[in-house]
Structure 1
Amino acid sequence: MNQRLTRMEAIQSPVIPLIGEWVSQTPGTISLGQGVAFYPPPPTVIEALQRRLINQPLHQYHSVTGLPSLIEAITQKLAQDNQVDVSNNQAVVVTAGANMGFLNAVLAITQVKDEIILNTPYYFNHEMAIRIAGCEPVCVPTDDQYQPQLEALASAITPRTRAIVTISPNNPTGAIYPESTLRAVNQLCRTHGIYHIHDEAYDYFAYDSTPIFSPAAIADSDNHTISLYSFSKAYGLAGWRMGYMLIPSDLLLAIKKIQDTNLICPPLASQYAALACLAEGKSYSQQFLPEMGRCRLQLLKALASISEYCRLVTPQGAFYCFLQLRSHRPDLELVKALIEDFQVGVLPGSTFGMTHGCYLRIAYGALREETASLGISRLVTGIKALSVK
């Protein structure tokens, strides 16, 4: 029992509930913390579920890997939007969010004490999932533009390495990895006989005409590439917990065992909601991106005006900025001060693995144009007050 407690104690506590509690204790705070889109799911989701409830009850178990109709629609989406043609050597598995897909993948390909390579800053739930599985995250710093460093990744591979993880568009930095970089990472994984796990939860969120590339589109990559996707961002479906993974077929039995143990089957109502979303298609989220893009530009302009207090790498995708502050205060202490004294919430960079220096993740996806100015103004005022030139 003590050994189990020790292992779990080594896993960081989820920071979003903590920040959420601080925000709730400070009424009027504008949150730039949790990564959510401002828009709701398509209205057709509710209509589809109402029809389904009348014609077919949703209270029975179903397939462990997902509804065949949803898997077919996902396969068509991957071909159309991601240029990924699902081969006979691959399988689509519907999951309760992309986070579940990542944990499924780690459990399927590792044994205790194996290693998974993460680019730093990493997505905190990835690091937590690796530790929960009894494995070791090996953190490799990105460069000063938050791009992967290929030589460093290659040097980090050991006999215990089972995968390299990439996220593009990136959480927390907003960086988009070029096709050449992702091809090189994928080839590195092929050469060393390890998996390339690629998270594409933000595959519809790019700005300035920056292209998004899916490693699963690489020819002959199907035996070592695991791709993760989500409905949470593009379709405002975060609370419905719906995602999917594209995996090599030889992992399917292991994934079935894991998913059947943890979930039995993906939530049936959420699957029909996802099916209605895919009927709407990419155009649903695209109608909201201009407003999100205007909030992004407003934020970037404001942060550029205080460059003596902070360093910003312009984000190209997702809806995040990752800011390095010139401050000697611990980042969590600074986050609390921003909430209590300036009524604006953000996340500390340490939860993303940045333990040296003071970093903040700013999420602008939830902003509307009518509230953006106030939230950004509070943030800028707080940064100036809490940082040093």
Structure 2
Amino acid sequence: MSEVADRVRNSSVSVIKEMMYLGAQEATRGKDIVSLGVGLPFYPAPKHVHTHVINKLQTKSDIDKYTLLTGLPELRNIVADISTNQLGFKVSSDEILITPGSMAALLYSMLALVNPGEEVILPSPYFSSYAEQITIAEGIVVPVAMIEDPRVGFRLDVAKIQKAINNKTKAIVLNNPQNPTGAVYLKEDLLELSKILKNTAVYVITDEVYDYLLYDNCEYFNIGEIKEIWPRVIRCCSLSKKYGMMGWRIGYLHTNRDLLMNILKVHDASIVCAPHISQEAAIAALTGPQDCVKDHVKWLSDNRDAICRRLDKLPELFTYVKPRGTYYVFPKFNFPIKSIEMAKRLLYEAKVVTVPGIGFGPEGENHLRLSFGSSTQVIHKAFDRISDWYAKQK
């Protein structure tokens, strides 16, 4: 279509959404489809969030109205205090923008920072939507292969990142813990990277949606704690996975005040403000009892162990490193086809939705992303089918 702008024509719907769509199509045809594809945790939002929201719907006279562009002052103060505790230095509410999920925060960052032809580095494999957002901003995706370490899984290749930086490099996106690999970046690698970045004009955009989801007492380090790389840091954060609030579409962005005022132009021109009711839900989630988060981590840890046991029973088909964070595992498959064909064969022949690794960058080929965010029953049902399917291929 010649009337469609190049920035849209050159982008695509993520392979994750494509596989969801194909699976849904099969389900409408009466097929019993099981999904390990979508990153959707099975638990609902905490009851105290629902109770708070119902109360506000009944008692808050302006609940149906806009909030300030930047968000409810109470919520921004709460987020600033949380960020202060996380990073170890004072964060002001003037540095916080409440957004409709971290996806909006990430897109705002690309549109506010990236000029046509400028480059954004993505450690690869990477979450597919980053590439789409960079393309929409008319930037250039620069994938930099990570190291596959058999001890800790994927880790940053700092030397390769340094070589990739040039006068066109605008930013690097760091998703830690990482989707799709389940990796948690090593503190030593992040410290080494920060020494390089502090002497450049490169911005660091962090996606921290899984920062709570760590296993086996794994050490988590936020590169935003390194004061020397500020003010060229944009933190994109979400309540979706931590509190089971995906449908509420609520998150926040943290950066220096001057840059935030420019990002606000994109926010104002597109969204105006995050939904008022969702901001109230966020207040309840962040200030209410946090036992639910511990429960979520425990449930997902059990799921991780379950899916790893099932992978261990198929050593001829899959090799993998046990994920240290998130609710994804990224096994390499030993089968003589590409990952898109592998995912489609599992869908149409085994009735199991997975996500082909090529959708996460060139280093993702010959892998599948499997989500263990669903129930253990779903995991076992899916692997029963995969095992039966593989037995027929021999």
Counterpart of 1:32, as a letter, is L
Q: Residue 353 of structure 2 aligns with which residue? A: 345
Shift of 1:188: 2.0
Partner residue, 1:63: 68
Residue 322 of structure 1: which of 315, 324, 330 is its match?
330
Question: Is the partner of 2:254 in helix, strand or coil?
Answer: strand
Structure 1 residue 281, shift from structure 2 partner: 5.1
In 1, Cα distance between equivalents of 2:363 and 2:92: 43
- Maintained 8 Å contact 1:309/1:384: no
Indicate which of 77, 86, 93 corresponds to 1:72. 77
User: Is the deviation greater in 201-210 or in 328-337?
Assistant: 328-337
Residue 309 (structure 1) shift: 1.9
User: Could you tell me whether the CA contact under 8 Å between 1:167 and 1:198 is conserved in 2?
Assistant: yes
The one-letter code matched in structure 2 to 1:254 is N
Once residues 89 and 304 of structure 1 are traced to their aligned partners in structure 2, the CA distance between those partners, rounded to angstroms, is 47
**Which residue in 2 is equivalent to 1:373?**
380
Contact 2:306 2:376 in 1 (8 A): no
Kept in 1: contact 2:36–2:379 (CA 8 A): no
TM-score by length of 1: 0.93
The residue matched to 1:2 in structure 2 has which SS?
Answer: coil
Task: Give, in angstroms, the shift of residue 198 of structure 1.
Answer: 1.4
**Aligned pair in 2 of structure 1 residues 45, 192: CA closer, same or farther (>3 Å)?**
same
> Is 1:129 aligned to residue 133 of structure 2?
yes
Provide the C-alpha distance between the structure 1 equivalents of 2:127 and 2:4, rounded to a whole number of angstroms. Answer: 24
- 1:274/1:89 CA distance change after superposition, 3 Å: closer
Residue-by-residue CA offset, 1:211-265 (whole Å, 9 max, x unaligned): 1111122233331221111111000010111111111222011111010011001
Contact 1:186 1:196 in 2 (8 A): no
Please state how far the C-alpha of 1:88 moved relative to its aligned partner.
5.2
Give the number of aligned pairs. 385
1:385–1:108 distance in 2 versus 1, CA, 3 Å: farther
Shift of residue 383 of structure 1?
Answer: 4.9
What amino acid maps onto 2:112 in structure 1? Answer: A
The separation in 2 between residues aligned to 1:383 and 1:104, in whole angstroms, is 44
Q: Separation in 2 of the partners of 1:374 and 1:15?
A: 23
- Specify whether residues 206 and 384 from structure 1 end up closer, same or farther in structure 2 by C-alpha distance, changes over 3 A only: farther
| Matching residue within 46, 53, 62 for 1:49 | 53
Secondary structure in 2 matching 1:358: coil
Q: Tell me, which stretches of 5 or more residues in structure 1 are unaligned?
A: none
Q: Provide the C-alpha distance between the structure 2 equivalents of 1:328 and 1:356, rounded to a whole number of angstroms.
A: 15
Partner AA of 1:206 in structure 2: L
Give the TM-score, by structure 2 length: 0.92
Aligned counterpart in structure 2 of residue 249 of structure 1, from 245, 252, 257: 257
Q: Report the CA distance between 1:304 and its aligned residue.
A: 2.2
One-letter amino acid of the counterpart of residue 82, structure 2: K
> Is residue 2:104 matched to residue 1:104?
no
Match of 2:39 among 35, 47, 69: 35
Range 87-96 or range 347-356, more displaced = 87-96
The aligned residue for residue 195 of structure 1 is: 203
CA distance in 1, matches of 2:124, 2:392: 28
The answer for the alignment partner of 2:227 in structure 1 is: 219
Decide whether the 8 Å contact of 1:232 with 1:239 is kept in 2. Answer: yes
Once the two structures are TM-superposed, the CA of residue 356 in structure 1 deviates from its matched residue by 7.1
Task: Judge conservation of contact 2:145–2:363 (CA < 8 Å) in 1.
Answer: no
Superimposed CA distance per residue, residues 66-121 of structure 1 (whole angstroms, 9 cap, x where no aligned partner) = 111111111222234x3443435971111111111111111222211111000000
Match of 1:95 among 79, 94, 99: 99
**Which amino acid in 2 is paired with 1:36?**
L
Does 2:296 match 1:291? no
Q: Name the counterpart of 2:237.
A: 229
Q: Confirm or deny: 8 A CA contact 2:80 2:92 kept in the other structure.
A: no
Residue identity opposite 1:196 in structure 2: V
Preserved contact between residue 80 and residue 91 of structure 2 (Cα < 8 Å): no
**Cα distance in structure 1, aligned partners of 2:259 and 2:120:** 17
Give, in whole Å, the separation in 2 of the partners of 1:243 and 1:135.
24
| % same residue | 27
Change (3 A) 1:120 1:7: same
Please state how far the C-alpha of 1:9 moved relative to its aligned partner: 2.5
Q: Is the 8 A contact 2:76 2:93 kept in 1?
A: no
Residue 278 (1) aligns with residue 282 (2): no
Distance 1:90 1:376 in 2: 49
Contact 1:215 1:225 in 2 (8 A): no
- Which amino acid is the alignment partner of residue 70 of structure 2? T
Counterparts of 2:144 and 2:112, CA distance in 1? 23
1:378 Cα deviation from its structure 2 partner:
2.3
Note closer, same or farther for the CA distance 1:286–1:325 as it changes in structure 2 (3 Å cut): same
Aligned equivalents of 2:123, 2:327: Cα separation in 1: 19
Residue deviations 1:264-294 (CA, integer Å, cap 9, x gap):
0111111111111102254322112222211
Shift in Å at residue 385 of structure 1?
5.0
Q: CA RMSD in A?
A: 2.1
Q: Secondary structure at the match of 1:118?
A: strand
CA-to-aligned-CA distance 1:194-224 (integer Å, 9 cap, x gap): 1111111001100010011111222333312
The correspondence of residues 96-175 of structure 1 with structure 2, limited to 5 A, is 96-145=100-149, 146-175=154-183
Distance 1:174 1:226 in 2: 22
SS at match of 1:181: helix
Looking at structure 1, the residues matched to 356 and 288 of structure 2 have their Cα atoms a distance apart, in angstroms, of 36
